């Protein structure tokens, strides 16, 4: 949308939507942005965690004497001398903040390899590392349950997801729907364990004050939930805890809940009476801070000859563990994406001796849509229908789960504009029919969709005597652009240019925000920021309106607009006065406004989802099975785009993530030892520049008057969904080989 269209549609000043550079960009590239471990704390000492070498069993003996006697050592904490940690309320219940319910160091039981069994604290990092090495632990090991596929018969149902979503869903009569189908697809698709690999590892610094209050600098997607979990774990009043996190070096979900390392840093700091810094190693992030669960998914599709779906049955089994629960909600999307009268979904868990899985970018949808959208591609081929046409014939005019209208749904525009821009019409539907020299060429597409969650959020806006403004909300910017976009929202609502607005986040002393996850940031924090800014502006307008000395005196507040730091009468813009002048005449240092929104998943009963269409071109080497993605394009409906540049970055970042998921990422668990085979960036393959072609992403801007006061849904996660299926579908089109197990490796294609 052009600035002009924005003005007409939203009365926008043009600040919202503009491709503003990241306001924190300079801080980041100059190294001035302070990440969790980088805060300078007087007298800080270092903690190193020791992980279990066995995957299941018990600790039979611990000898810490050599470690305690080593130079510089201040303390060694094990389950024998740790404070007693209660079972924590899991994040996944919708009530708690803890990613895992059972803290390590509570007893002698080992639930997974890498479970923390000791914390060594010393004056220097090297001394702490050496002390951890000197701790002697003997175990009684049992064979771990380390394989999922062979144990599907042990599956059990999880608790309702996030406080309410049951593990099973059904509408209509799926068995009958399959019976009456002219064409059926029944297949099993599987996805492996994948790990978040943010550049910044998890890290915390814990500082206790003499009065028993605690400050924690943590790498976190949500300082308020982290504080809540810390209060529970340490059994102390929540008001005595402050959590600070101004910058996050990547999160992707792994920093969305409280992990034990943060609690252990705080407990260790209390025990040694010094501030403690604790930074996880990359290897530790493969066992103790979540991962995307492996899934085995069965998909059954039935359709009439014209392509209309008569039934979808989609079940998924993922990893269940003893220390908590995080079901991968892979089939959720199947309940709402297509207009099908008969739908059944089910998730279940198989007990394994691993660390707990957690949300990873596009949780649920990313693996779920690999299965569903691959299945639809198989169905399209059986029907002799174009894959886009099949999807259009099943387009859901309303939310098929509730029967209510969508908040907005621009999926049709995404298909049409995406196909056009990609050149989909050049695709010869025959598999293995397109070539470029010796390379087999394939085109594939898939739908993208992700719910954008509406969490509660509050904000405060302060207009200062010099006419500049500070706006606060304790959300997070995990590289998403939140600093920048909230600056734009505040700027427009205040009528103060963006370079005179400072947005602050990441401190529990600021107004409440929930975790920056579930693509919730813009949708939830945006309207709170807008309200707070409007409240502050209105207060100043009221002062001017009631002041005979002001050129605005006597004019109704509703008639007063604001731009470039000035208030003005809308129908007589020559009557104007700066914020600074109004505050100055009233002797005010600042004027403050507040705003907030409640939890709102489906406003007015309308489901809020971002949508998209992913298009991919691959070239496959017929002799070596090597797949190269040579073009990728995503067309997305995220409602109103608040910043064309940062939104596009989110979208293409999602596509890069999807390329990794489709072709490279795979955490291998040793089948008998239960350990992560290569917990590092040498063994865990991620896409590098050579794996990523020039990407194209654009937005079809659909008006959404329901989602919130900004008309903006969320863009964080929709970009990855659909990519793996689009690539698998393109690989099929290139080669005639259908790969139903990720990642698609050369071995699988040979
Ligand atoms: Mo996201 S995986 O909900 O941070």
Q: What is the pLDDT of residues 644-669, one digit of tens each?
A: 999 999 999 999 999 999 999 999 99
Q: Which of 600, 631, 657 is the last residue of a domain?
A: 600
Please tell me the residue having the least CA distance from ligand 1 atom 4: 253
Q: How many angstroms separate the CA atoms of 720 and 712, rounded? A: 19
**pLDDT band for position 164 (50/70/90)?**
confident
Average the pLDDT over 574-584 and give the result. 97
**pLDDT band for position 600 (50/70/90)?**
confident
Q: Is the CB of 256 under 6 A from ligand 1?
A: yes
Longest Cα–Cα distance in the chain = 84
Q: Are residues 461 and 584 in the same domain?
A: yes
Q: Report the side by side order of strands in the sheet with 590-597.
A: 501-504, 469-472, 457-464, 590-597
Q: Is the CB of 363 under 6 A from ligand 1?
A: yes
- Ligand 1 center–CA 382 separation, angstroms: 36
275-312: pLDDT as tens digits: 999 999 999 999 999 999 999 999 999 999 999 999 99
Q: Are residues 536 and 666 in the same domain?
A: no
**pLDDT band for position 232 (50/70/90)?**
very high
DSSP state, residue 438? T
Q: Are residues 543 and 622 in the same domain?
A: no
Q: Which of 585, 600, 615 is the last residue of a domain?
A: 600
Atom of ligand 1 nearest to the CA of 515: 4
For residue 182, tell me if it sits in a domain: no
For residue 436, tell me if it sits in a domain: yes
For residue 121, tell me if it sits in a domain: no
85-111: pLDDT as tens digits: 999 999 999 999 999 999 999 999 999
Sequence-distant (6+) residues with CB within 8 A of 239 are none
For residue 392, tell me if it sits in a domain: no
- Ligand 1 center–CA 179 separation, angstroms: 38
Q: Are residues 589 and 625 in the same domain?
A: no
> Could you give the C-alpha distances from 611 to 405, 406, 413, 450, 532, in angstroms and in order?
15, 11, 10, 7, 29
Q: How many angstroms separate the CA atoms of 165 and 345, rounded? A: 12
Q: Is the CB of 359 under 6 A from ligand 1?
A: yes
**pLDDT band for position 12 (50/70/90)?**
confident
Instruction: Please say if the pLDDT value at position 2 is more than 60.
Output: no
C-alpha angle 132-138-141 in degrees, rounded to nearest 5: 120
Assess contact for 182 and 305: CB atoms under 8 A: yes
Assess contact for 663 and 628: CB atoms under 8 A: no
- Residues across the chain: 750
Q: Is the CB of 366 under 6 A from ligand 1?
A: no
Name the domain count of the chain: 2
Atom of ligand 1 nearest to the CA of 716: 1
Q: Are residues 488 and 467 in the same domain?
A: yes
Average the pLDDT over 625-643 and give the result. 97
Residue 141 β-bridge partners = 57
Q: Are residues 468 and 568 in the same domain?
A: yes
For residue 542, tell me if it sits in a domain: yes
Secondary structure (DSSP) of 692-736: ---EEEEE-----TTT-TT-B---TTTTTTTHHHHHHHHHHHHHS
102-149: pLDDT as tens digits: 999 999 999 999 999 999 999 999 999 999 999 999 999 999 999 999
How far apart are the two ends of the chain, measured CA to CA in Å?
46
Atom of ligand 1 nearest to the CA of 358: 2
- Find the CATH number of the domain harbouring 701: 3.30.365.10
Residue 609 β-bridge partners = 451
Q: Are residues 628 and 729 in the same domain?
A: yes
Q: Is the CB of 174 under 6 A from ligand 1?
A: no
pLDDT for 202 equals 98
Q: Which of 534, 565, 600 is the last residue of a domain?
A: 600
For residue 694, tell me if it sits in a domain: yes
pLDDT for 286 equals 98
- Ligand 1 center–CA 234 separation, angstroms: 26
Q: Are residues 442 and 558 in the same domain?
A: no
Q: Are residues 429 and 462 in the same domain?
A: no
C-alpha angle 246-249-255 in degrees, rounded to nearest 5: 85
Q: Is the CB of 451 under 6 A from ligand 1?
A: no
**H or E element, residue 503:** strand 501-504
Rg of the chain over CA atoms, in angstroms? Answer: 27
Assess contact for 282 and 681: CB atoms under 8 A: yes
For residue 441, tell me if it sits in a domain: yes
Assess contact for 535 and 594: CB atoms under 8 A: yes
Encoding tokens for residue 148? 């999922």
- Ligand 1 center–CA 262 separation, angstroms: 19
Q: Are residues 569 and 619 in the same domain?
A: no
Q: Is the CB of 518 under 6 A from ligand 1?
A: yes
DSSP state, residue 480? S
**pLDDT band for position 352 (50/70/90)?**
very high
Atom of ligand 1 nearest to the CA of 253: 4
pLDDT for 163 equals 80
For residue 662, tell me if it sits in a domain: yes
Instruction: Please say if the pLDDT value at position 490 is more than 60.
Output: yes
Domain that holds residue 636: 405-453+603-750
Q: Are residues 415 and 555 in the same domain?
A: no
Q: Are residues 630 and 717 in the same domain?
A: yes
DSSP state, residue 151? G
Assess contact for 719 and 657: CB atoms under 8 A: yes
**H or E element, residue 504:** strand 501-504
Q: How many angstroms separate the CA atoms of 473 and 477, rounded? A: 11
- Ligand 1 center–CA 477 separation, angstroms: 12
Average the pLDDT over 333-357 and give the result. 98
The residues carrying an active-site annotation are 717
> Could you give the C-alpha distances from 403 to 339, 340, 372, 602, in angstroms and in order?
10, 12, 21, 13
């Amino acid at each position: 949308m052009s600035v002009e269209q924005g003005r007409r549609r939203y009365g926008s000043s043009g600040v919202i939507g503009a491709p503003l550079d990241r306001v924190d960009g300079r801080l980041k590239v100059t190294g001035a942005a302070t990440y969790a471990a980088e805060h300078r704390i007087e007298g800080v000492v270092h903690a190193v965690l020791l992980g279990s070498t066995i995957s299941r069993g018990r600790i039979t003996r611990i000898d810490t004497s050599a470690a305690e006697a080593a130079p510089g050592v201040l303390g060694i904490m094990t389950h024998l001398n740790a404070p007693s940690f209660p079972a924590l309320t899991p994040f996944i219940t919708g009530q708690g903040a803890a990613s895992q319910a059972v803290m390590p160091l509570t007893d002698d039981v080992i639930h997974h390899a890498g479970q923390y069994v000791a914390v060594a604290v010393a004056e220097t990092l090297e001394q702490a590392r050496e002390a951890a090495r000197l701790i002697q632990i003997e175990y009684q090991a049992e064979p771990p349950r380390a394989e999922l596929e062979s144990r599907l018969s042990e599956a059990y149902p999880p608790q309702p997801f996030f406080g309410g979503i049951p593990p099973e869903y059904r509408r209509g009569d799926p068995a009958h729907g399959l019976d009456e189908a002219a064409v059926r697809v029944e297949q099993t698709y599987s996805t492996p364990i994948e790990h978040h690999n943010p550049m910044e590892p998890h890290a915390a610094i814990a500082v206790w004050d003499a009065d028993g209050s605690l400050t924690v600098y943590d790498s976190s997607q949500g300082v308020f939930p982290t504080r809540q979990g810390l209060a529970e774990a340490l059994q102390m009043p929540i008001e005595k805890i402050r959590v600070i996190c101004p910058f996050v070096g990547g999160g992707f979900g792994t920093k969305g809940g409280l992990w034990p390392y943060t609690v252990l840093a705080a407990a260790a700091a209390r025990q040694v009476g010094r501030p403690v810094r604790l930074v996880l190693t990359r290897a530790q992030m493969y066992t103790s801070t979540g991962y995307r669960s492996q899934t085995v998914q069965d998909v059954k599709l039935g359709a009439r000859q014209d392509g209309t779906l008569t039934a979808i049955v989609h079940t998924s089994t993922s990893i269940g563990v003893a220390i908590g629960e995080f079901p991968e909600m892979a089939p959720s999307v199947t309940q709402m994406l297509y207009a099908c009268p008969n739908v059944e979904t089910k998730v279940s868990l198989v007990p394994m001796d691993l660390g707990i899985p957690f949300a990873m970018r596009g949780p649920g949808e990313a693996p779920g849509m690999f299965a569903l959208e691959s299945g639809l591609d198989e169905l399209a081929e059986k029907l002799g229908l174009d894959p886009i046409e099949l999807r259009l014939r099943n387009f859901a005019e309303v939310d098929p789960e509730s029967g209510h209208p969508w908040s907005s749904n621009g999926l049709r525009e995404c298909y049409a504009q995406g196909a056009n821009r990609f050149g989909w019409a050049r695709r010869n539907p025959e598999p293995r029919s397109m070539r470029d020299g010796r390379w087999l060429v394939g085109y594939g597409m898939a739908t993208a969709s992700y719910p954008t969650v509406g969490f509660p959020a509050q904000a405060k806006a302060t207009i200062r005597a010099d006419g500049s403004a500070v706006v606060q909300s304790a959300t997070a910017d995990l590289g998403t652009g939140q600093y920048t976009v909230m600056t734009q929202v505040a700027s427009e609502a205040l009528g103060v240019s963006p370079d005179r607005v400072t947005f602050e986040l990441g401190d529990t002393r600021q107004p409440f925000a929930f975790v920056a996850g579930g693509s919730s940031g813009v949708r939830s924090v945006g309207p709170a920021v807008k309200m707070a800014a409007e409240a502050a502006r209105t207060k100043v307008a009221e002062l001017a309106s009631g002041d005979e000395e002001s050129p605005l005196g006597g004019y109704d507040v509703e008639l007063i607009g604001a731009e470039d730091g000035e208030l003005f009468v809308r129908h007589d813009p020559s009557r104007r006065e700066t914020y600074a002048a109004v505050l100055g005449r009233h002797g005010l240092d600042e004027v403050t406004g507040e705003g907030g929104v409640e939890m709102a998943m489906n406003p007015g009963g309308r489901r809020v989802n971002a949508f998209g269409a992913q298009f991919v071109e691959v070239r496959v080497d017929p002799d070596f099975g090597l797949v190269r993605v040579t073009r990728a394009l995503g067309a997305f409906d995220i409602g109103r785009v608040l910043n064309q540049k940062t939104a596009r970055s989110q979208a293409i970042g999602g596509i890069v993530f999807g390329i990794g998921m489709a072709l490279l990422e795979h955490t291998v668990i040793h089948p008998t030892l239960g350990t992560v085979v290569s917990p590092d960036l040498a063994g865990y393959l991620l896409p590098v520049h050579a794996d990523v072609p020039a990407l194209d992403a654009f937005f079809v801007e659909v008006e959404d008057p329901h989602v919130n006061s900004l008309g903006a849904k969320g863009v964080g996660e929709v970009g990855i969904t659909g990519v793996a299926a689009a690539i698998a579908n393109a690989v099929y089109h290139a080669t005639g080989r259908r790969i139903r197990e990720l990642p698609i490796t050369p071995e699988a294609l040979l």
